[in-house]
Copies of this chain bind each other. A is one copy, B any other.
């Protein structure tokens, strides 16, 4: 990544955080960059491990704090698929997640749905989470 584009990203991150009343910190910048680098729906612990490579002193509590701030200001989606750990996804395009019941892999799926859902009176929807459970290509081809 070139310096100029990195600076732009940081400026935009700074602004997003500020808009939601958060401070711009090195930890939040780094956690966000970790998410952008490898978009594989890591758990908080996986983010922690990756973040520590370039920021060895970062703590788990801070990772949660950063992830929560990023979710709050609309840069990251929180994805809860089963009883296990929460996953985090920096892809904010409208899409859904495929969860493989066999290998627990998570995949982004572009959804073709026209989501014109009509909610009963009084409900105010803020976002949709469509999760598809099943078997991913690799696990489909393996014997069951």
Contacts and interface: CB of A to CB of B under 8 A. Distances in A.
A93 B19 CA distance: 41
A56 interface: no
A122 B140 contact: yes
A137 B123 contact: yes
Contacts of A141: 122
B123 A133 contact: no
A117 B140 contact: no
Contacts of A126: 101, 133-135
A128 interface: yes
Interface stretch (A4-12, A30-38, A46-54, A107-115): A107-115
B123 A112 contact: no
A24 interface: no
Contact of A81 (B80, B101, B119, B124): B80
Contact of A133 (B112, B121, B127, B140): B127
Nearest to A86: B83
Interface of A: 78, 80-83, 86, 98, 101, 107, 109, 111-113, 115-138, 140-141
